[in-house]
Structure 1
Amino acid sequence: MKPNPECDVLIIGAGATGSLAATVLARAGLDVVCLEQGSWVEPSDHPHYSSDWTWQRRTNWNSDVNKRHHPDDYPVASDSSQVLMWNGVGGSTNVYGAIWPRYRPSDFRKGDEHGLQPNWPIAYEDLAPFYEIADKLIGTSGLAGDPAMPPREPCPTGPLPFTRAAGRLAESFDKLGWHWWPAEAGVISENYDGRPGCNGCGICNGCPRGSMSKFSLSIVPKALAAGMKLRTHARVLRIEKGLDGRAKGATFVDRNTGLTEFQGGKIVIVAANGVGTPRLLLASGNLANSSDQVGRNLLHHTLVSSEMWVDEPIESHMGYVASLIGREFAETDISRGFVNGFQFNCLTGTSSAGEAAAGWVTDTKAPWGHDHHGWFERHFGHVIGIHAIGDDLPNPENRVTLDPTTSDSEGIPAAKLHYSPGENDRRMMNFMLDRLADIGNAAGAFEVKLTDYRDQDGVYRTPAWHMIGTCRMGESAGSSVVNKWNQSWDVPNLFIVDGSVLTTGGVVNPTPTISALALRAAGYIRDNFDRLTGSVRSMAA
């Protein structure tokens, strides 16, 4: 095995959180090495430049790892959901939608609210400054002043243009007397930080221009400029632990040469997402798992969806992926028959080929035959898509484990996911479907399609793709994997900075909160590096 010189900080994963942590720590003058099992994704690689753009997005560029076959992927077995991830520099920001709302203050204190979820060991106020730092580093757009949220600084760029589809939907919300607000986005509405403003080309999953904050274009260059050393095609086999109980570094395979190498690090940070991180810890001899919580409490969000078609041509295939959000039902109201809440993400439509072949939100598609042209003329550019996304309750049996029969090309057991919505989640989903029907009626839609994602046997499945909660943060070592600084309770120089640490799921896309947490943890490591590593030196002495 080839050894490499020990570094100050070893980061596993060059996605959103790994690159943010690397930027903070390298700027502080620390020697940072980042191991990424995937490759660079060049702008020209994106499907936007292909004549079969829609087909590529549904196959080779599908955000679900199980619907594409990419050499950087590893196998993931799931009985319920999409598995949104991308192994490569920038991670899943190569294929995400960059909807950018923040958690609400109540999301951090569900234990006090109803006791069916734990409290976070931190409050919204602890994280608020790091939301602001993340927005400036990453480049976001939006409109400050939402009365449903705490005050915040203005976004670095103003809100994205309000589309005709958004206007029609806003009128519908006004008729119902419901909250709506222009969606915050990890997308710049004007030139910012050397990247061009969004041109509104259509529904997004990744952006070769960098208008949507693809972290390989927005953050990784900052980390490299500060001195981070990046190794691509470096698939980590396991994290090694010394006799002193602390992490020594990682054994990995250089997938270019086939050689096995060891990279030591005084601090080890894992940033491998809500599936990859528990998989790696379990494959590393059940590392950091005295609580038996590694891999447990997998959260996806409850999710139901709607497409509705209106007579007015609203050019719904144009613009950014999410036009507005609705937080009318974001807080718990037990008179609805369940705890927790949900919000609406109101979406653009799909491309002409997508509308004809498979739809997007509900898989509604044009009929073939003599009705095809008439259906297409009435439906294309007339659709409004809506996801209702809710806060699912954690269940320790919803989890990531190691598959006993399948492994990747390096012999690491595959990840195996099990997830099933609970009774509270199903009640919420039914309520959400009724509210989507209300929106369709208020919009004057001539057709409304709802989906609750039950299969032919009536079993609830979920297409939700947010894989979080599997190494959750908590107030005690017995009930969580990391403390309030993202630090392992069991392995003091091991930190986890990805979505696996989220204590609760909230009702929103998690990347803004994950990014803020990563910045907060990196700042803690930077400010306490001598203390955190001094104990290692004294033990070694």
Structure 2
Amino acid sequence: MSNERICDVLIVGAGATGSLAALVLAKAGLDVVCLEQGSWVEPQDHPHLHADWAWQRRTKWSPDVNKRSHADDYPVKSDSSQILMWNGVGGSTNVYGAIWPRYRPSDFRKGTEHGLQPDWPISYEDVAPFYEEADKLVGVSGLAGDRAMPPREACPTRAMPPSKVAQRLGAAFDKLDWHWWPVEAGAISEDYDGRPACNNCGICNGCPRGSMSKYSMSIWPKALEAGTELRINARVLKVEKGTDGRATGALYIDRNTGQKHFQRAKLVIVAANGIGTPRLLLASDNLANSSDQVGRNLLHHTLVGVEMWVDEPVDGHIGYVASLISRQFAETDVSRGFVNGFNFNCITSTSSAGELAAGWFTSAKAPWGKEHHSWFERHFGHSIGVFAIGDDLPNPENRVTLDPVLRDSDGVPAAVTHYQPGENDKRMMNYMLDRLEDLAKAAGAFDYSLHDYRDQEGVYRTPAWHMIGTCRMGADPANSVVNKWNQAWDVPNLFIVDGSVLATGGVVNPTPTISALALRAAGYIRDNFESLTTASRSVQAA
């Protein structure tokens, strides 16, 4: 086992947040090394450019780690949910849809609102400048002025052109007197920062063009130019700490040669996602876990959906993946029978005839036999999808643990996830389904299919893709893992900058908030590097 030089900052994980931290710190002149167990995903690797792309999206290009067989992956055992992640440079931005809404101010103060979730130690106003910074780096498209949200700067690129789906749904929301707004997207509607505008190809599952902000194409070139050393195919086995309680670096294996190396560092940042980070900390002799909160409070969001078909062709198979967002029900109203709220993500249809015939994201399927062609002719190009995404309550028993037997190819224990929606979540999901039915009827759908994601035994599951909350931020080291600067309470030179730190899930896709928090933490490290790397064991809450 070789010993490397002592770098200033070691980052574990080259996904969205790892890339942003690397960019900020390398630009400040710090010696930054990033270890990524996966490799680069080249444009030609994406399924978009292949005739069998629909099949690839369900198999080797499935975002669900348990539905594909990649050498870069590690096993995850789950009893309930899809495990959507991607190991590689850019992380899950290689396969995401880049819907880009922000948290609301109330999402940071749920403890004050109803007490069933914690208050964050920071506010929306603390994060807002970093939302703006992330948006500029990504090239977010959208329209400022949504009265359901705090004021914001103009989006770097204009909103995506209104699609036929957006027009039909907008009219339905208006009929119901419900709020709606053009969705903010991590995709550029016009040429931006050397990347081409979205061409509306309609197969949003990552983007080989870089129009959707794939961080390997939008952020990593800048981070590398600033001086970051990126080592791919480098699987971290363990983060080590010294007798003084400070992190000393990481033991990793070069997956090309099979050799082990130890990279020493003055400060360590873990950016391995809401499952990968607790897995690594637990495998590192229970690192940063005096609170017993590492791995607990796994949040996925509640999620239900409707697939509807309307008489007019809406060409839902082309265009950016999402059209509108509605925050009509985003805030708590206890008269509904639950706390917290949800939003509607209004999405396009599938571009694949085969996916439509076999059920796109609900259980609806084209009939076989003499009715097949007439059904298909009436449904293809006429479909609209809407997801309702809700803020699930944390439960310490919803968690990530280590499997006692199963290992990855390098001997690290596999992650095991357990998640079950609570009673409040179930009541919300039922209410969400009723509102989706209202929306389908208001849109004039001649047919619609609801999906409540209950299994054959009637047990609620959730396919929501988000993996957050497992190393949450807080003001008290007794019930959180990191402080308001993403700094581990137990290990003063260890920072966590991925979705595991989110104390609440909000009602929206988390990547914008995760990115903003990573920029905020990286700026704090940059501005306080000398004091953070001195031999002190104290971590301040303030």
Normalised by the shorter chain, which TM-score bucket? over 0.9
- Residues of 2 paired with 1:355 and 1:414: CA distance? 32
State the partner residue of 1:364. Answer: 364
Which stretches in structure 1 are left out of the alignment for 5+ residues? none
- Residue aligned with 2:300, SS: coil
Does structure 2 retain, via aligned residues, the 8 Å contact 1:323–1:348? yes
The residue correspondences of 1:325-344 to structure 2 (distance < 5 A) are 325-344=325-344
User: CA separation of 1:333/1:203 partners in 2, compared to 1, >3 Å: closer, same or farther?
Assistant: farther
State the partner residue of 2:218. Answer: 218
- Residues of 1 paired with 2:61 and 2:364: CA distance? 21
- Residues of 2 paired with 1:156 and 1:231: CA distance? 32
Deviation at 1:267, TM superposition (A): 0.6
Amino acid at match of 1:99: I
State the partner residue of 1:200. Answer: 200
The residue correspondences of 1:258-269 to structure 2 (distance < 5 A) are 258-269=258-269
State the partner residue of 2:540. Answer: none
State the partner residue of 2:255. Answer: 255
State the partner residue of 1:230. Answer: 230
Deviation at 1:372, TM superposition (A): 1.5
State the partner residue of 1:127. Answer: 127
Structure 2 residue 297 is the aligned partner of structure 1 residue 297: yes
Does structure 2 retain, via aligned residues, the 8 Å contact 1:275–1:500? yes
Does structure 1 retain, via aligned residues, the 8 Å contact 2:350–2:356? no
Deviation at 1:397, TM superposition (A): 0.2
Which stretches in structure 2 are left out of the alignment for 5+ residues? 538-542
State the partner residue of 1:13. Answer: 13
Does structure 1 retain, via aligned residues, the 8 Å contact 2:65–2:84? yes
- Residues of 1 paired with 2:158 and 2:308: CA distance? 28
- Residues of 2 paired with 1:218 and 1:12: CA distance? 19
- Residues of 2 paired with 1:406 and 1:453: CA distance? 28
Does structure 1 retain, via aligned residues, the 8 Å contact 2:100–2:183? yes
- Residues of 1 paired with 2:268 and 2:76: CA distance? 25
Amino acid at match of 2:504: T
Does structure 2 retain, via aligned residues, the 8 Å contact 1:142–1:160? yes
Write out per-residue CA displacement over residues 111-145 of structure 1, whole angstroms, 9 at most, x where no aligned residue.
00000000000000000000000000111100000
State the partner residue of 1:78. Answer: 78
Amino acid at match of 1:255: R
Does structure 1 retain, via aligned residues, the 8 Å contact 2:305–2:450? yes
Write out per-residue CA displacement over residues 423-465 of structure 1, whole angstroms, 9 at most, x where no aligned residue.
0000000000000000011011011100110011011111111
Write out per-residue CA displacement over residues 1-57 of structure 1, whole angstroms, 9 at most, x where no aligned residue.
111101000000000000000000000000000000000000000001111010011
Q: List structure 1 runs of 4+ shifted beyond 4 angstroms.
A: none
State the partner residue of 2:517. Answer: 517
State the partner residue of 2:408. Answer: 408
Deviation at 1:536, TM superposition (A): 6.5
Amino acid at match of 1:253: I
Amino acid at match of 1:412: V
- Residues of 2 paired with 1:265 and 1:229: CA distance? 13
Write out per-residue CA displacement over residues 241-273 of structure 1, whole angstroms, 9 at most, x where no aligned residue.
000000000000000000000001101000000
Deviation at 1:353, TM superposition (A): 2.7
Does structure 2 retain, via aligned residues, the 8 Å contact 1:158–1:189? yes
Amino acid at match of 2:253: V
Write out per-residue CA displacement over residues 193-227 of structure 1, whole angstroms, 9 at most, x where no aligned residue.
00000011104110000000000000011100000
- Residues of 2 paired with 1:110 and 1:536: CA distance? 33
Amino acid at match of 2:374: G
Instruction: Tell me whether 280-289 or 345-354 shows the greater mean CA deviation.
Output: 345-354
Structure 2 residue 150 is the aligned partner of structure 1 residue 166: no
Amino acid at match of 1:318: I
Deviation at 1:533, TM superposition (A): 1.1
- Residues of 1 paired with 2:137 and 2:290: CA distance? 36
Write out per-residue CA displacement over residues 149-195 of structure 1, whole angstroms, 9 at most, x where no aligned residue.
00000110000011001100000000000000000000000000000
- Residues of 2 paired with 1:204 and 1:236: CA distance? 31
Structure 2 residue 88 is the aligned partner of structure 1 residue 64: no
Deviation at 1:355, TM superposition (A): 3.6
Deviation at 1:358, TM superposition (A): 2.7
- Residue aligned with 1:513, SS: helix
> Could you state the TM-score of these two structures normalised by the residue count of structure 2?
0.98
- Residues of 2 paired with 1:130 and 1:495: CA distance? 18
- Residue aligned with 2:530, SS: helix
Does structure 2 retain, via aligned residues, the 8 Å contact 1:341–1:507? yes
- Residue aligned with 2:287, SS: coil
- Residues of 2 paired with 1:363 and 1:530: CA distance? 57
The alignment covers a number of residue pairs equal to: 537
Does structure 2 retain, via aligned residues, the 8 Å contact 1:332–1:340? yes
Does structure 1 retain, via aligned residues, the 8 Å contact 2:48–2:203? no
Does structure 1 retain, via aligned residues, the 8 Å contact 2:349–2:384? yes
Does structure 1 retain, via aligned residues, the 8 Å contact 2:492–2:536? no
Does structure 2 retain, via aligned residues, the 8 Å contact 1:54–1:353? no
- Residue aligned with 1:253, SS: strand
The residue correspondences of 1:477-488 to structure 2 (distance < 5 A) are 477-488=477-488
- Residues of 1 paired with 2:475 and 2:534: CA distance? 25
- Residue aligned with 1:343, SS: strand
Write out per-residue CA displacement over residues 62-118 of structure 1, whole angstroms, 9 at most, x where no aligned residue.
000001111100000001111010000000000001000000000000000000000
User: CA separation of 1:369/1:189 partners in 2, compared to 1, >3 Å: closer, same or farther?
Assistant: same
Deviation at 1:357, TM superposition (A): 4.1
State the partner residue of 1:314. Answer: 314
State the partner residue of 1:30. Answer: 30
Deviation at 1:365, TM superposition (A): 2.6
The residue correspondences of 1:113-124 to structure 2 (distance < 5 A) are 113-124=113-124
Amino acid at match of 2:102: R
User: CA separation of 1:508/1:190 partners in 2, compared to 1, >3 Å: closer, same or farther?
Assistant: same
State the partner residue of 1:421. Answer: 421
- Residues of 2 paired with 1:393 and 1:496: CA distance? 22
Does structure 1 retain, via aligned residues, the 8 Å contact 2:180–2:326? yes
State the partner residue of 2:455. Answer: 455
Instruction: Tell me whether 124-133 or 360-369 shows the greater mean CA deviation.
Output: 360-369
Does structure 2 retain, via aligned residues, the 8 Å contact 1:203–1:348? no
Deviation at 1:366, TM superposition (A): 1.9
Does structure 2 retain, via aligned residues, the 8 Å contact 1:60–1:69? yes
Amino acid at match of 2:61: W
Structure 2 residue 97 is the aligned partner of structure 1 residue 97: yes
Does structure 2 retain, via aligned residues, the 8 Å contact 1:332–1:341? yes
Does structure 2 retain, via aligned residues, the 8 Å contact 1:406–1:414? yes
> Could you state the TM-score of these two structures normalised by the residue count of structure 1?
0.98
Deviation at 1:363, TM superposition (A): 3.9
State the partner residue of 2:106. Answer: 106
- Residues of 1 paired with 2:254 and 2:300: CA distance? 32
- Residues of 1 paired with 2:492 and 2:357: CA distance? 52
Structure 2 residue 373 is the aligned partner of structure 1 residue 373: yes
Does structure 2 retain, via aligned residues, the 8 Å contact 1:350–1:359? no
Does structure 2 retain, via aligned residues, the 8 Å contact 1:101–1:184? yes
Amino acid at match of 2:280: L
Does structure 1 retain, via aligned residues, the 8 Å contact 2:12–2:34? yes
- Residues of 1 paired with 2:156 and 2:223: CA distance? 20
- Residue aligned with 2:286, SS: coil
- Residues of 2 paired with 1:368 and 1:59: CA distance? 24
- Residues of 2 paired with 1:359 and 1:224: CA distance? 43
Deviation at 1:337, TM superposition (A): 0.2
- Residue aligned with 1:83, SS: coil
- Residue aligned with 1:216, SS: helix
- Residue aligned with 2:140, SS: coil
State the partner residue of 2:52. Answer: 52
State the partner residue of 1:532. Answer: 532
Does structure 2 retain, via aligned residues, the 8 Å contact 1:173–1:179? yes
Does structure 2 retain, via aligned residues, the 8 Å contact 1:186–1:212? yes
